[in-house]
Structure 1
Amino acid sequence: MRPVGEGIWVSGTNGTDGSEHENDDVRPAEPDSRDSSEKESNSASAPTEQFAAFAPPPTGDNSPNEPDDRAGRTADSPAGPDTDEPSPSDAPTTVIPVVKRPGRGEEPSTTPLQRSSDTPAPKPVGSTPLPTSESRPAQPQDSRPAQDSRSAQDSRPAQDSRPAQPPASPPTPPPPVAPPPGGNSGSSGDGSGPWWSGLPKRTVALVVGGIVALLAVLYVADLAISSGKVPRGVTVAGIEIGGEPLDEAEAHLREVLTERLDEPVRVLAGETTGEIVPAQAGIGIDWDATLDRVGSQPLNPFARLASFFGTEEIGVVSTRDDAALVVALDEFTAAAAYAPREGNIVFEGGTPVPVIPQPGQRVDIATASDVFAERWAFGEVSLPVEQVDVTVTREGLDRALADIAVPAVSADLVVRGRDGTAATLARDQIGAVLSFVPDGNGGLTPEYHPEAAVEILAPQLEPTETEPRDARVEIQGGSPAVVPGVKGELVDWAKTLETFPQLLAVTDDRAVDAVYQTVDPELTTEAAEKLGINEVIGEFTTGGFEYASGVNIRLAAAEIDGAVVKPGETFSLNGYTGPRGTAEGYVESGIIEAGRPGKAVGGGISQLATTLYNATYFAGMEDVAHTEHSYYISRYPAAREATVFEGAIDLQFRNPFDTGVLIQTITTSSDVTVRLWGTKTVNVQSITGERTNYTDPNTITLPAGPGCIASAGAKGFTVSDTRVVTDAKTGAQISNATRTVRYDPVPVVKCVEPDEKDGADSEGDQGAGDAPAPASPAPAPASSTPESVPVGAPAQAPGEDVADTAEPIAQPETAAPPRRQPESVSIPEPAGTSAN
């Protein structure tokens, strides 16, 4: 609402014809010294209300009966009746143009105020009642320009601005006017600002100051009340201690968190779960550092205000024993980790099956330790896991499956040999010769295995092949002769399967012809003739074995007969003969078992080994490996004999000459001879030393039966042998080597019947021999036990002396006897008895 004239405020709504007034508001008005043009402009600018006001009474120069020369009147303006006492209805009026809100069908009017020139000026407001809507005459709209109104108002006398007289009685207040839709109820009447814009600045300042003072009082009061307490909203591992006194908060935390140290904490890593007890994992609590995190009351008013609406988790500061923590987490992290599964293709019969790639997972133990130490107090810890990517994509897998694997198994592969023979690689065998590996670019690369194909195909074409046969040297008419070798015709599988990948890529006509090649024997006729095998260079004979040992000796001797040792080659007796079991015809014979004579399949081969060793000894061969018997055996030369045991003890020698060596074996029912042929270049002399350091045997008493072999026993001793090698042409000494051997005493074995009482304990007397053996070997009775040597026994039944005899016993001639060495034992036997 605005003052529009001198004297009163009127607020209401006029019809467009000026005939209606609603919600008239009549108040005393302050004099308004603004010019009429400003007042007219202010009146016309109100967008939400319509105003009407009475003009001030005319000055003394304008009587009621005189024409009004002020601008704003029109020639046809109606005049009131010419009377001395104007009635309220006759009072001159000023019509404020109707102003309606834009957008409601009316534009704000710029028509100036209208006043009748024939109507006398109204009386002061104090003595003249306000006209009602019924008595107010309608005023026509004035179409004159607005500038005429402004000029007329500007020419009005200054008396028009005199103060209005107070009304005789207060006017009846009109009913309130509802705010316009969408308007701001807190705005001033003209909608130009907030509700307080109409208030005096001093009032606004007082209100604001009061609010600030109130907030300050509340801040100080809140700060005083919370002094010495934990800030609001603080939690430690989910434990709410905000607002508690500091000492009570500490006690609360110590009670709860100390219990949690001994409670299992659920640990997760991906899909793997487990439990770890913090205290057992080396976790503790740093109370000082944890309580320091609580802090003091915040002074920032905004922080204090925010504490009413949220929480602050400060966590627990832990101490840790890294070694114990790693141990506790190691098993869990190992279980949580798994290797990636690369995409691949496998074959199930004749069907290729794709292996879908799957990333792996791993847990970094250092990171896991840090996370557990930080989060254990919450009762559950989720450890971070790292994904281990795969290199094969699903697209690459599908491509290899469609382009390679499926065609590869579409049909059988056939290799055509001679004479109509064919070898077939069936489609369900393709998986044995084809596999896939990652190519590094997301795909799979095929890998072909021709050797696996050869294993399947070669046996099928063997009938079409001719194996080569080496040239050999045979003793014919008492002298060596070369038997020519035979060339062979074999399938060249490398050339035959050159197109193997291409064959597997096609789906029809999957056949190829076998390529044959001529193959020379390993030892050709020409090479055999150049070996220089033409004379005996070493020979030795042993005898005195029993029948069973003879069977085994003759079998092994036949296997090595005719063997050729080329220059620089090493010969192995076990390697050349191979297994010596019942399947090969070997029988049970004497060995040394558990420190005393025993029996096993293949026993007796040590006699062949001793014979071969002595033949190579005198032929000048280089000793690579040999072992003497634990007990001395009288038919063998002392310190110049050997034993063997399949899989444990071997006899090996090397041909050091430029010519070859032929092994010839000759056996009878009682002896065996080994003869070496070659080119003689050296002479060998053996010098056997005196026997010293005799030791007495023990006596062992066993129950009579097959497991007991009686023995008269013999003393043990130490002896050495020296080999002197000289040049066969010049006689110059080439080498001089001494080997010292200590033989164990042969125990006295007594086989006692259960009812015999000879004073001996049934488990055997392990003391010094009750019947010491003579100082020197004596002939044994006819019932003497077979020679006890570890010869040819199966690996599943080794004796104790087998392990002992595995130790080499090469000593210089002047060296003291070793503390414990396998030594041969002299068991006197009559001729013809069996021994190993």
Structure 2
Amino acid sequence: MAAGGLAFAADWSLSSGHVPRGVQVAGIDIGGMERSDAQSRLESALNQRVTQPVTVRIGDVQATVVPRDAGLSVDWDGTWDRIGSQPVNPVTRLTSFFSTRNVEPAATIDDSAMTAQLAALSSHDRQPVEGGVVFDGARPVAVQPVPGRVLDVPAARTVLAEHWADGPTLELPAVETQAQVTSAAVDRTLREVAQPAVRAAVTFTGKGGNGTLEPAQIAGALTFAPNGQGGLTPSYDNEAIIAALEPQLKSTEIEPKDATFEVGGSRATVVPAVVGDTINWDKTLEGLPALLVSPSDRSKVVVYEQVKPKLSTEDAEKMGVVQSVGSFTTGGFSGPSGVNIRTVAEKVNGAVVKPGETFSLNDFTGPRGAEQGYVESGIINQGRPSTAVGGGISQFATTLYNAAYFAGMEDAGHTEHSYYISRYPAAREATVFDGAIDLKFRNNTPYGIFIEANANSSEVTVRLWSTKTVEVESITGERTKPTDPKEITLPKGKECIASEGAPGFTTSDTRVIRDSKTGKEISRTTRTVKYDPIPVVKCE
């Protein structure tokens, strides 16, 4: 015992200030070395390792990580705490002569860099292949589920922090992820739904004609999605089914038509409405999933429904549209303007304005662009001639305005041209611009209004048909306050349209409305209009 005590005392004295025997840090042997020498050896080795790429394996995928780029560096105080001091236990001191103790270097972590590194490694995740059924043409094909694999991020963070210095390769933990749909559900759906659905065509029997839904069309409209309980739910694209059947069954439908009017000579007569008989697709396609898996019947009766017209024959007959109550004709156009005037006249011809309704030219025609058949023609822009798609429509607006004027309609909003155009009546004309300047009138009578609009190569006529209740007189005022035109010089080109100019002036129009039976005056309204001078435009 005395000898043992002397040996312990001697070893304690000799090892004071040294690293415990048998210690290795990340495989670097520093056992028994003085601490300063051990520190130097560790710094030299670990500072080099922190910059060297480490291969990491995630399942069957390999990637590289540079510890320093992942936010890792050596925590020297923590590392020395793990190494510890000379053991007091004599047994431990004795066994240290014959054994080794590996110590992992403690690490400090830059959270943002580590998070970015783990996100980059997560890009190697493999999501599970979901089980399902797809179609190759009209042939159903089973898609068996395949498990996925994703990085276990918290555990991978721990492995990188603790073992980055261990060697050239690290295994990072991963978690297997399962598909929602089971293999049994895939096989059952293939057998019980997909295969029966496309085994033969389905016939839809309509009134006087049939439509056929072929297996390939069924396959194109049938899809399957996980139901959250391990199985698959079929889904049918009704829009695709309708698109396949509608052209085949279109001839079996009767489209509704509003009642309208036919004019001839001095009288207007009612053209009866047509009650529609159209396919109710929702009801027609009810029960289709059950029909497609039925072992026998592969046919369905088309369901129709009546669609009433917006204006019935009875309502049209009550509107009192029997005679012309106001008409107007303008001319003097040609070329592109004529194209636009004829296009808008065709659109407005046949319009019906019910009692109390307001007719808006812009709202009724909608956009007047190239897609609607309008072309580029002359307009007035900022007080001088220019061109735009739809130019010339103002002549139609003036014609319509005057027809409504002489029919006694209530003016609900119109705008005159900025300067006078000689082919229009002064102070009794209107301009329009798509989406900005409109022409409106309100049917202030107890009768309906039917608009007849016709245009040829040089004239346009608008006639309003109803029951005549008033006589309208127009009184044009004198022209006063003349103003001289200014001269404008513009560069030659498409944007410059030469003009000789004309003086401006102020004038008025007075509309007098009288009862058509008694001749008694109902109203007298004066509108004063100031026309700007037409500038003299020179192109040089």
Q: Give the structure-1-normalised TM-score.
A: 0.48
Contact 2:498 2:536 in 1 (8 A): no
State the partner residue of 1:777.
533
2:399 and 2:368 mapped to 1: Cα distance?
Answer: 20
2:185 is the alignment partner of 1:429: no
State the partner residue of 1:23.
none
2:56 and 2:19 mapped to 1: Cα distance?
Answer: 31
Query: Alpha-carbon deviations, 1:453-478, whole Å to 9, x = none?
Result: 22212221223333222222556666
Note the C-alpha offset of 1:399. 0.6
Matches within 5 A, 1:267-286: 267-286=56-75
SS in 2 for 1:318: strand
1:252 and 1:515 mapped to 2: Cα distance?
Answer: 90
State the partner residue of 1:791.
none
State the partner residue of 2:30.
241
2:11 is the alignment partner of 1:255: no
1:249 and 1:283 mapped to 2: Cα distance?
Answer: 21
Q: Percent sequence identity over matched residues?
A: 41
2:228 is the alignment partner of 1:440: yes
State the partner residue of 1:469.
257
1:238 and 1:538 mapped to 2: Cα distance?
Answer: 107
Contact 1:450 1:500 in 2 (8 A): no
State the partner residue of 1:404.
193
State the partner residue of 1:519.
307
State the partner residue of 1:336.
124
2:375 and 2:402 mapped to 1: Cα distance?
Answer: 25
1:284 and 1:293 mapped to 2: Cα distance?
Answer: 16
Query: Alpha-carbon deviations, 1:155-201, whole Å to 9, x = none?
Result: xxxxxxxxxxxxxxxxxxxxxxxxxxxxxxxxxxxxxxxxxxxxxxx
Contact 2:75 2:105 in 1 (8 A): no
Query: Alpha-carbon deviations, 1:476-525, whole Å to 9, x = none?
Result: 66676543211233344444433422321134442234344443334333
User: How many corresponding residue pairs?
Assistant: 493
Note the C-alpha offset of 1:639. 13
2:56 and 2:439 mapped to 1: Cα distance?
Answer: 63
C-alpha change, 1:399 and 1:318, in structure 2 (3 Å) is same
C-alpha change, 1:309 and 1:559, in structure 2 (3 Å) is same
Contact 2:418 2:532 in 1 (8 A): no
Deviates more, 1:423-432 or 1:486-495: 486-495
Give unpaired runs (5+ residues) of structure 1: 1-211, 681-690, 715-730, 733-774, 786-836
Matches within 5 A, 1:244-393: 244-305=33-94, 307=96, 308-320=98-110, 322-333=111-122, 335-363=123-151, 372-378=160-166, 382-393=171-182
Contact 1:588 1:602 in 2 (8 A): yes
User: 1:315 is matched by which residue type in structure 2?
Assistant: P
1:599 and 1:515 mapped to 2: Cα distance?
Answer: 53
Matches within 5 A, 1:568-717: 573=362, 576=365, 580-581=369-370, 586-590=374-378, 603-605=391-393, 635=421, 641-644=431-434, 664-667=452-455, 669=457, 700-702=490-492, 707=494, 709-711=496-498
2:91 and 2:77 mapped to 1: Cα distance?
Answer: 28
Note the C-alpha offset of 1:541. 8.2
C-alpha change, 1:570 and 1:585, in structure 2 (3 Å) is closer
User: 1:553 is matched by which residue type in structure 2?
Assistant: I
Contact 2:321 2:447 in 1 (8 A): yes
C-alpha change, 1:332 and 1:777, in structure 2 (3 Å) is farther
Contact 1:536 1:676 in 2 (8 A): yes
2:465 and 2:27 mapped to 1: Cα distance?
Answer: 95
Contact 1:564 1:661 in 2 (8 A): yes
SS in 1 for 2:258: coil
SS in 2 for 1:559: helix
Contact 2:367 2:434 in 1 (8 A): no
2:155 and 2:463 mapped to 1: Cα distance?
Answer: 75
State the partner residue of 2:292.
504
C-alpha change, 1:402 and 1:776, in structure 2 (3 Å) is closer
State the partner residue of 1:547.
335
Note the C-alpha offset of 1:402. 0.7
Query: Alpha-carbon deviations, 1:336-378, whole Å to 9, x = none?
Result: 3454432111111110011222344555767665654554444
Note the C-alpha offset of 1:222. 4.0
2:22 and 2:440 mapped to 1: Cα distance?
Answer: 91
C-alpha change, 1:501 and 1:262, in structure 2 (3 Å) is same
Contact 1:613 1:642 in 2 (8 A): no
Higher relative contact order (CA 8 A, sep 6+): 2
> Between Structure 1 and Structure 2, whose CA radius of gyration is higher?
1
User: 1:344 is matched by which residue type in structure 2?
Assistant: G
State the partner residue of 2:347.
559
Give unpaired runs (5+ residues) of structure 2: 469-480, 502-521, 524-530
Note the C-alpha offset of 1:428. 1.8
Matches within 5 A, 1:115-154: none
2:127 and 2:447 mapped to 1: Cα distance?
Answer: 59
Query: Alpha-carbon deviations, 1:586-622, whole Å to 9, x = none?
Result: 54535799xx987676554566578779999996688
Query: Alpha-carbon deviations, 1:683-726, whole Å to 9, x = none?
Result: xxxxxxxx9xxxx9986535x6xx56444699xxxxxxxxxxxx
User: 1:453 is matched by which residue type in structure 2?
Assistant: I
2:404 and 2:21 mapped to 1: Cα distance?
Answer: 101
1:532 and 1:384 mapped to 2: Cα distance?
Answer: 87
Matches within 5 A, 1:716-755: none
C-alpha change, 1:592 and 1:350, in structure 2 (3 Å) is farther
C-alpha change, 1:309 and 1:340, in structure 2 (3 Å) is same
SS in 1 for 2:211: strand
2:275 is the alignment partner of 1:490: no
User: 1:500 is matched by which residue type in structure 2?
Assistant: L
C-alpha change, 1:778 and 1:499, in structure 2 (3 Å) is closer
C-alpha change, 1:428 and 1:778, in structure 2 (3 Å) is closer
Query: Alpha-carbon deviations, 1:391-449, whole Å to 9, x = none?
Result: 21111111111111111111111223344x33211112211232222222211122234
C-alpha change, 1:219 and 1:639, in structure 2 (3 Å) is farther
2:161 and 2:437 mapped to 1: Cα distance?
Answer: 62
SS in 2 for 1:424: strand
User: 1:549 is matched by which residue type in structure 2?
Assistant: S
C-alpha change, 1:556 and 1:245, in structure 2 (3 Å) is farther
User: 2:119 is matched by which residue type in structure 1?
Assistant: D
Query: Alpha-carbon deviations, 1:525-560, whole Å to 9, x = none?
Result: 345456787999999988765421211221132123
2:63 and 2:441 mapped to 1: Cα distance?
Answer: 64
SS in 2 for 1:441: coil
Contact 1:433 1:452 in 2 (8 A): yes
Contact 1:606 1:644 in 2 (8 A): no
1:562 and 1:457 mapped to 2: Cα distance?
Answer: 33
User: 2:533 is matched by which residue type in structure 1?
Assistant: P
Query: Alpha-carbon deviations, 1:258-313, whole Å to 9, x = none?
Result: 33444444455444544444444544443333333322122234444554324232
1:367 and 1:679 mapped to 2: Cα distance?
Answer: 89
